[in-house]
């Protein structure tokens, strides 16, 4: 089953205690697509400027990622710069230059309109809804991400978009901010009233938690000795999660649990090196080996 994603394709400047890169391909939709393409065919909707490099375009072309929906515009690509603290847990945004992104009006190519699996990466909630409206019928799974910026500045737009999605995938501070609840389970109950029937809370080095009507499922983050750069970990998690579900064409409880494992696996690979580097050298066999490792990591007898 093809998986539709809309979001940012960007150039990033990244700094962490492990090094620095001046300009590397990034963006939420980029990390998502590269991670998801290990499991299924991805249809990408985004915008780039005339500085978008053919070598970066080849990253998508070489994979199972269709870029008919990647619009070209005059101007520069979205640019984002961030610096991480010593323990990699905090990050400051040094620059967000919207560039061509400021005029972005996502338009779905005809062949994307029957999508049954849809992921709305972190962009303005009004644009997320525009994309959903262009999809024919009701998707089997519509999932979305968001961030503090939209929760604070476009809360009513965000509430409107939330009414139309099944799964909300956000981090713990965003969960608390959106629901005004500190406790994540109470926060989930609050969020269910806004529309989504499933909440996936991404908790960085503490793993991830899924809450839905059948209960709660938690998965740890894969223990790594030397993570280098957390950029895109959440988007890679979302790509592994949604890619797996679209690949198996299911949203059963068992499939959702396995999707959590594959999300965590892809997120863990993403942080091992700077930017996309590790995801680009990753092999399917390594993904499955780490998933098996996860099963061992969390197994116990009573």
Q: Does 231 bind ligand AMP (CB under 6 A)?
A: yes
Minimal distance in Å, beta carbon 252 to ligand AMP?
27
Q: In the complex with ligand AMP, which residue's Cβ is closer, 8 or 128?
A: 8
Residue 91 burial by Cβ neighbours in a 10 Å radius (0-12, 13-18, 19+): middle
Minimal distance in Å, beta carbon 80 to ligand AMP?
4
Helix axes 28-36, 253-270, angle to 10 degrees: 120
Q: Does 8 bind ligand AMP (CB under 6 A)?
A: yes
d(CA 231, CA 248): 27
Q: In the complex with ligand AMP, which residue's Cβ is closer, 66 or 235?
A: 235
d(CA 213, CA 28): 28
**Number of residues assigned to the chain:** 302
- Alpha-carbon distances of 280 from 13, 35, 284, rounded to whole Å: 18, 9, 11
For ligand AMP, which stretch binds (CB under 6 A), given 21-29, 58-66, 215-223, 261-269?
Answer: 21-29
For ligand AMP, which stretch binds (CB under 6 A), given 152-160, 174-182, 228-236, 286-294?
Answer: 228-236
> Which one of 3, 6, 15, 26 is in contact with ligand AMP (CB under 6 A)?
26
d(CA 63, CA 168): 27
Q: Does 27 bind ligand AMP (CB under 6 A)?
A: yes
Q: Does 12 bind ligand AMP (CB under 6 A)?
A: yes
- The DSSP letter of residue 124 is -
- Alpha-carbon distances of 210 from 40, 119, 183, rounded to whole Å: 22, 17, 14
> Which one of 35, 88, 123, 170 is in contact with ligand AMP (CB under 6 A)?
123
Count of residues that interact with ligand AMP, criterion CB under 6 A? 16
Enumerate binding residues for ligand AMP (CB under 6 A): 8, 10, 12, 26-28, 80, 96, 122-123, 149, 231-235
């Amino acid at each position: 089953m093809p998986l539709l994603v809309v979001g940012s394709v960007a150039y990033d400047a990244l700094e962490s205690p492990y090094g620095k890169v001046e300009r590397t391909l990034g963006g939420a939709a980029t990390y998502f697509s590269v991670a998801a393409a290990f499991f299924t065919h991805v249809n990408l909707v985004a915008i780039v400027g005339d500085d978008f490099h053919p070598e970066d375009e080849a990253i998508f072309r070489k994979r199972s990622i269709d870029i008919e929906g990647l619009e070209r515009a005059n101007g520069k690509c979205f640019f984002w710069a961030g610096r991480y603290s010593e323990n990699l847990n905090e990050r400051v945004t040094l620059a967000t230059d919207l560039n061509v992104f400021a005029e972005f009006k996502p338009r779905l190519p005809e062949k994307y309109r029957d999508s049954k699996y849809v992921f709305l990466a972190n962009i303005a909630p009004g644009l997320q809804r525009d994309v959903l409206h262009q999809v024919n019928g009701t998707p089997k799974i519509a999932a979305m991400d968001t961030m503090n910026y939209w929760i604070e500045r476009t809360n009513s737009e965000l509430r409107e978009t939330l009414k139309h999605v099944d799964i909300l995938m956000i981090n713990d501070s965003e969960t608390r901010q959106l629901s005004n609840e500190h406790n994540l389970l109470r926060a989930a109950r609050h969020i269910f009233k806004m529309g989504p029937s499933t909440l996936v809370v991404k908790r960085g080095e503490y793993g991830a938690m899924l809450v839905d009507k059948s209960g709660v499922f938690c998965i740890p983050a894969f223990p790594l000795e030397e993570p280098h750069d957390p950029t895109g970990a959440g988007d890679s998690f979302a790509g592994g999660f949604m890619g797996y579900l679209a690949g198996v064409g299911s949203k059963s409880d068992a499939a959702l649990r396995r999707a959590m494992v594959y999300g965590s696996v892809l997120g863990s690979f993403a942080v091992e090196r700077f930017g996309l580097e590790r995801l680009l050298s990753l092999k399917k066999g390594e993904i499955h080996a780490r998933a098996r490792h996860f099963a061992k990591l969390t197994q116990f007898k009573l």
